Chains A and B, each alone.
Chain A
Amino acid sequence: MMLEHVLVVSAYLFSIGIYGLITSRNMVRALILGIDGLSIGPILLTGFITTLATLAAWPVTRDSRLFHFLMLAMYSGQIGLFSSRDLLLFFIMWELELIPVYLLISVWGGKKRLYSATKFILYTAGSSVFLLLGVLGIGLYASNEPTLNFETSANQSYPVALEIIFYIGFLIAFAVKSPIIPFHTWLPDTHGEAHYSTCMLLAGILLKMGAYGLVRINMEFLPRAHSIFAPWLMIVGTIQIIYAASASPGQRNLKKRIAYSSVSHMGFIIIGIGSLSDMGLNGAFLQIISHGFIGAALFFLAGTSYDRIRLVYLDEMGGMAVPVPKIFTTFSILSMASLALPGMSGFVAELIVFFGIITSQNFFLIQKILITLLMAIGTILTPIYSLSMLRQMFYGYKFFNAPNSYFLILDRESYLFLSLSFYL
């Protein structure tokens, strides 16, 4: 899979060379691909997580070829999205994600899978309408001729009112995808019901697609609107951290709890994007990659423990530390990574976002202090739900008949995750 990924990337780079030679006047024909520093991180993240998700899908025996096909379709959509230099391709790849996820959830999911799959697709497709409007608007508004090329669109300056309209349109689309409160409600249902390798792909990559889109489109193309909306983004991000971290301890479903933790961590990314500083953006990007690993790994472990004990609700679990010690260890370490323990990548990301806000020139001191204090409240709330999740699952003395871990491959895979959640 990794080799294939390398081949795909090199094929794309080759195709850039070819398209560079062809100047096309028709905006539909030129689908331009390119990778730069902003997209290489998520592309590598995608490749890695998809590899591990495919390995995690090993025990799927029902229609496994369809399962893997859908995962590959998602994979190509994600790579296409992160490497597109063209708004139309961006939109096509965005849409390409929807159907595989719908099928993956509805065929291999949990008890409420049809409801959550339908909710997901209606929500996301509805937001994609706004994305389409924005794409067409930007594309048609170019100076000489309609073009969807990123480079020319990025250098285009729009009147402020138009920028704001486009910004809101794109923001709605990205707000649903990288969940920004209050458009996040599809996420707990979807993550709670999907098979865990789908969850890994969702949490690891799809959420980051929304954040990537925010950076790529909203920051690059619409800078004036972004500077107008940035304080609001920061406020919403802060509220998101605290809200999701408060909603998480109340969940009885294990995967929903981790889903809310994903929403909470995405709040850091939103704050970093809205901080209008170089450091903040760096921190947001690092959190994109770091949370990709951590979220995917947490879902993987939740899924493997579900495979063994077939229990979804946390109050029925308990005392799993003795039968499944490897899962216990990795889950503990990943929970520490999730609560941004120093020494792990999550801490570095959050710290850089902290410093990015503090050093940002564009906000008054009181606002910065308020946001910093609220983020710090978030770091108090995070251990509460992750540690109590650990406690409910692993400690105590209820014993289960758990089959011993014969998935040794997957345990090694989880160790790979671990080594990546440490920062060097």
Chain B
Amino acid sequence: MLVTGDNSLQLFLGWEGVGLASYLLIHFWFTRLQADKAAIKAMPVNRVGDFGLAPGISGCFTLFQTVDFSTIFACASAPRNSWISCNMRLNAITLICILLLIGAVGKSAQIGSHTWSPDAMEGPTPVSASIHAATMVTAGVFMIARCSPLFEYPPTALIVITFAGATTSFLAATTGILQNDLKRVIAYSTCSQLGYMIFACGISNYSVSVFHLMNHAFFKALLFLSAGSVIHAMSDEQDMRKMGGLASSFPFTYAMMLMGSLSLIGFPFLTGFYSKDVILELAYTKYTISGNFAFWLGSVSVLFTSYYSFRLLFLTFIVPTNSFGRDILR
């Protein structure tokens, strides 16, 4: 309903629905207190995002008297309400787009509302794979892409989006290089890649952003699932420092994870290359401050991405065995 709705109310319905699904699935093992705390953190942080989205939708309703997407997009250029506050002239449509952006920030775990994403790794790995790689976290990006005719009008909002996305990709990547938990590295990597998608939207290339979204869904789900296989094989041990030398024990998983990581860092001719490289090229060729900022931060994030991806691979698979014998199941 999130993606097929043709008005923003159905979008909101689907939005909350995926938030609910993530809440219920994160505490799948509900006797585990960490999981419950994480689930409770997830729901209100999503709600903080909705604190932006709901007034954004109400604002749309005020301006356009309708919530239907086709109508809104058709007459998006019409309203010119503006008021002056804090020595800045705020158009109504700028405010609406910033509010919608806050919604996306909450849902897609951008910096500012990213705190739920690492804790959401308490859920089972298939949950992480589907919800936190492919479907829910992309809801924010999808919403921005869907409302792209609306976002084209306020240049201020686009600059804000670009800054937010670029900052997220950089900060999440720097956090990811120091994580010790296997799934948390992948979670921060998701935040970082979402930052890429958001700033690709911010430089007005929505189709590229959606392209990266699709690619990311696939290789991130691959990473999560193979991480799940490793974790399960290590009898629920998630700390990477305690793993090692698994390349000979789990060759298939190793191969999958290698492919996923290579795709994530944009290795030539894998899917990540096509989408990430295009984003960086477009950022470079957009001669605005925000475009250049995004380019530099994005490139540095690529460096960090490859660092943490290979760190993950090394610590898990290649380094001589660090784990205790009793941790390895057969």
Contact = CB atoms under 8 A, between A and B. Distances in A.
A75 interface: no
B20 interface: yes
Contact of B16 (A342, A354, A391): A342
| Chain B interface helix/strand/loop/mixed | helix
Interface in A353-382: 354-355, 358-359, 365, 368-369, 372-373, 376-377, 379-380
Contacts of B13: 342-343
B40 A387 contact: yes
Contacts of A110: none
B37 to A, nearest CB: 8
B55 to A, nearest CB: 5
Nearest to B49: A380
Given A343-B13, A391-B36, A396-B33, A355 B58 contact: yes
Contacts of B126: none
A383 interface: yes
B9 A391 contact: no
A359 B62 contact: yes
B54 A395 contact: no
A319 B33 CA distance: 10
Contacts of B16: 341-343, 347
Given A342-B16, A372-B55, A383 B36 contact: no
Interface centre among B9, B37, B47 (most CB of A within 10 A): B47
B79 interface: no
Interface in B41-82: 43-44, 47-48, 50-51, 54-55, 58-59, 61-62, 65
A369 B95 CA distance: 11
B112 interface: no
Contact of B51 (A341, A368, A376, A384): A376
Given A342-B12, A354-B54, A395 B44 contact: no
Interface residues of A, number: 32
B184 interface: no
Interface string B15-39: 1110010011001001101011101
B61 to A, nearest CB: 6
B217 to A, nearest CB: 24
A358 B15 CA distance: 22
A75 to B, nearest CB: 36
A383 B31 contact: no
Interface string A40-54: 000000000000000
A322 interface: yes
A327 interface: no
Sorting the interface of chain B by its residue count into under 10, 10 to 19, 20 to 34 or 35 or more gives 20 to 34
Contact of A321 (B15, B31, B48, B51): B31
A351 to B, nearest CB: 7
A388 interface: yes
Interface string A323-349: 000000000100010000111000100
A351 B54 CA distance: 9
A154 B9 CA distance: 38
A170 interface: no
Nearest to B16: A342
A383 B30 contact: no
Nearest to A332: B24
Nearest to B56: A376
Contact of B43 (A359, A365, A387, A397): A387
A300 interface: no
Contacts of B43: 383, 387
B40 A388 contact: yes
Contacts of B58: 354-355, 358, 372
B162 to A, nearest CB: 25
A377 B51 contact: yes
Contacts of A90: none
A285 interface: no
Contacts of A351: 9
Contacts of B40: 384, 387-388, 391
A136 B54 CA distance: 45
Given A395-B27, A397-B31, A383 B44 contact: yes
Nearest to B37: A391
A365 B35 CA distance: 43
Nearest to A319: B31
B243 to A, nearest CB: 28
A356 B61 CA distance: 11
A372 B53 CA distance: 12
A94 interface: no
B48 A380 contact: yes
B36 A358 contact: no
Contact of B62 (A343, A358, A373): A358
26 contacts: A319-B31, A321-B30, A322-B31, A341-B16, A341-B20, A343-B13, A351-B9, A354-B54, A355-B61, A358-B61, A359-B62, A359-B65, A372-B58, A379-B47, A380-B51, A383-B43, A387-B39, A387-B43, A387-B44, A391-B37, A391-B39, A394-B30, A395-B27, A395-B31, A397-B31, A397-B33
Interface of A: 319, 321-322, 332, 336, 341-343, 347, 351, 354-355, 358-359, 365, 368-369, 372-373, 376-377, 379-380, 383-384, 387-388, 391, 394-397
Instruction: Give the 10 A-B CB pairs with smallest separation, nearest first.
Output: A342-B13, A395-B36, A376-B51, A342-B16, A380-B47, A358-B62, A391-B36, A387-B40, A395-B30, A383-B43
Given A358-B59, A383-B47, A395-B30, 8 more contacts: A379-B47, A380-B47, A384-B40, A387-B23, A387-B39, A391-B39, A391-B40, A395-B31
